[in-house]
Amino acid sequence: MLAAVTPSRKDHATVQCYNNPMAKHAEKHETHQHHTTTPRQRVWVIAFVVAAAVLFAGVLFLATGKSRIAFTWTPQPVESTTTLTVAAAPTGDDIPAAFLEKSVEVSKIFTAETKATTPQPVPSTPTVTTFTGKARGKVTIYNRYSKAQPLIAGTRLKSPDGQIFRTQQRVDVPVGGSVTTEVMGDVAGEKGALPKGTTFILPALWAGLQDKITGVSTENFHGESQAATTSTTPGLTANELANAEQVLLQEAIAQALPDLQNLVPTGRTLYPGMVDATTVKRTGPAIGDKATTYTLTLTVKTTAVTVDSTKLTDSATALLTTSLSPDLQLLSVNPSTFGYTLKSTDTKKQRADVTLIARGTTVPAPAHRLLQQATFAGKTADEVRALLAQEKAASNVVVALTPFWNRRVPSSANDLQLEVTRAK
C-alpha cells in the first residue's frame, strides 16, 4: 500500500509560483530592479552632457557676441607760427620777460673766399667804362623809426623786381635822418643797372620796420670799369666780410651763453634763439683790401631775452588750438621744441618782438569720424581696412565680425565694439 506524499511548504510555494502568472511578473520585475549601468556607459553619458553644454555656449556666444574693430592711433605733430611781443613791463597780451646783457670780445683768422685771377695787360688806349661784373651805385637810406638803426657791412637791400644789393660798409642811420652809401648787386649782369629813384626795402628787418627804414637810389646803377691790374690777389668783398662777421657774432653768443644762463632770474627761462648780438667795435680789413688771410676782431654786446614759460605755453596752446580742425584736439605742447627768432630788440624799452614756431601733438577729438560707429556700419572688413588705411595716424587694424557668417559691420551700436589705442 502506497503511502501518501505531502508537499513541503517550499515545494508548495514553487508550485504556486509557476502556476500563478502574476507571481511570474513580480519575480521578473524584481530581477529588473537590480540591473546597474557599466563604467563605460557612464563615460558616454558625461561626454554627451559636456558636448551639449559646449554647443549651447557656442550658440549663445554667436547669438549675443559683438563685432570688433580695433586700431592704434599715433599722435600727429602740429605746427603754427606767430609773432609775440615780450616785455619787462608787459601790457595786454605781452609775455613777461627779463632782459640780460653781456659784452664779449671775439677774434678769428679767416681765409679769403676769392681766388687769385690771371693778371690782365695794361691797355694802350684809355679805359672804356662798359657794363661788366656786378651792378653798383649810391643809395640813400632813410630812418623814420623812433631809434637809430645800425646796418653792418653786407646788409641786404631788395629792389621791387627782387634783386639783392648789399652795403659795402657799416653805417648808422640816425632817427629821422638818412645816410648815403654804396651798394653792390649779389649777381653780375646788366639786369642790375637800375635807374635813379629806385626804392629798396631791407628784408632783414622785421615787417613792422620795413616801411619805416627804406632806401632810394641816388644815381643810375652801373657796372664795374674795365681797368688794368697787375695783382693776382683780388680784394675782399663785402659779402665775405659780412659772412665773417656773422660767424663771429654766433661765436660771441656761444661764448656769452654760460654767463647769461647764470643770470636768468627765478620764473624766467632762456630758450635757444632768444639771444641777440650787436657789434659794438670792429677791427679788421676793409672792403677791397687785398689779402689771402685776414684777422677780424669784434667787441659784441649780447642780449638775452628770458620769458615766463607758463605764459608762453599758454599763448602757444591757444595758437595751436585755434589752428586745429574740429575733429582734432591738442594732446601735448612742449616749449623746448619751439622755434624762436628775435626780430627786433629794444634794450632801452625792455621790449622785443619774437617769431614763435609753436609745436605740439594731436589726437582725434570725440567728434572724429573714425570714433563714430556709424562710420563703419554696413561696411565689409576690407572696406573698413581701406578706410582706416587713408588715415596715416591709424595702424594695427583689427576687424572681427560676429557671428562668423556675418559679412558686414552691424548697424546697431550695441552690436559693435570700437577700440582705439593711443601709441606711446
Q: What are 271-310's pLDDT values in tens digits?
A: 989 999 999 999 999 888 888 899 999 999 999 999 999 9
Mean pLDDT is highest, among 82-96, 130-144, 403-417, for 82-96
User: Is residue 318 located within the same domain as residue 356?
Assistant: yes
Rounded Cα distance between 123 and 126, Å, is 7
User: Is residue 352 located within the same domain as residue 300?
Assistant: yes
Domain contains 329: yes
At 375, give phi and psi (nearest 5°).
-60, -30
What is the pLDDT confidence band of residue 417, given thresholds at 50, 70 and 90? very high
The whole-number pLDDT of residue 206 equals 82
User: Is residue 264 located within the same domain as residue 205?
Assistant: no
User: Is residue 216 located within the same domain as residue 250?
Assistant: no
User: Is residue 356 located within the same domain as residue 248?
Assistant: yes
Residue whose C-alpha cell reads 606767430 in the numeric block = 82
The whole-number pLDDT of residue 291 equals 87
Domain boundary among the residues 198, 227, 256 is at 227
N-to-C CA span, the chain: 121
Side chain identity, residue 283: T
The whole-number pLDDT of residue 16 equals 46
User: Is residue 290 located within the same domain as residue 193?
Assistant: no
Query: Per-residue pLDDT averaged across 33-43, rounded?
Result: 65
User: Is residue 327 located within the same domain as residue 349?
Assistant: yes
Angle (nearest 5°) at CA 350 between 344 and 353? 30
Residue whose C-alpha cell reads 657794363 in the numeric block = 131
User: Is residue 217 located within the same domain as residue 248?
Assistant: no
More confident residue, 54 or 404: 404
Kindly tell me the burial class for residue 234, based on how many C-beta atoms sit within 10 Å of its own C-beta (0-12, 13-18, 19 or more). Answer: middle
Domain boundary among the residues 313, 342, 362 is at 362
The whole-number pLDDT of residue 3 equals 41
User: Is residue 293 located within the same domain as residue 310?
Assistant: yes
For 367-393, write each residue's pLDDT tens digit: 999 999 999 999 999 999 999 999 999
Region at 288 (left for phi over 0; alpha for psi -120 to 50; beta for the rest): left
User: Is residue 203 located within the same domain as residue 310?
Assistant: no
Domain boundary among the residues 362, 377, 399 is at 362
More confident residue, 30 or 392: 392
Which CA distances in Å does 6 have to 12, 19, 366? 10, 18, 107
Range of the domain at 191: 128-227
Domain contains 49: no
User: Is residue 382 located within the same domain as residue 392?
Assistant: yes
User: Is residue 370 located within the same domain as residue 353?
Assistant: no
The b-or-e profile of 105-137 (16+ CB within 10 A means b, else e) is ebeeebebeeeeeeeeeeeeeeeeeebeebbbb
**Beta pairing, strands 275-283 & 293-307:** antiparallel
Query: Per-residue pLDDT averaged across 110-133, rounded?
Result: 59
Rounded Cα distance between 303 and 259, Å, is 11
Domain contains 32: no
Domain contains 300: yes
- Provide the grid cell at 257: 651763453
At 263, give phi and psi (nearest 5°).
-95, -5
Residue whose C-alpha cell reads 511570474 in the numeric block = 24
Give the mean pLDDT of the chain.
Answer: 83
Which CA distances in Å does 250 have to 21, 76, 104, 108, 113? 127, 34, 12, 12, 19
Judged by DSSP in three states, 319 sits in: helix
More confident residue, 208 or 122: 208
The whole-number pLDDT of residue 114 equals 56
Give the number of domains in the chain.
3
**pTM of the predicted model, to two decimals?**
0.57
Contact present, 149 and 172 (Cβ < 8 Å): yes
Domain contains 348: yes
- Which residues make Cβ contacts (< 8 Å) with residue 85, sequence separation at least 6? 93, 94, 95, 351, 352, 353, 354
The whole-number pLDDT of residue 17 equals 40
Domain contains 6: no
User: What is the CB neighbour count within 10 angstroms for residue 316?
Assistant: 23
Region at 189 (left for phi over 0; alpha for psi -120 to 50; beta for the rest): left
Rounded Cα distance between 345 and 88, Å, is 12
Domain contains 47: no
Residues β-bridged to residue 213: 143
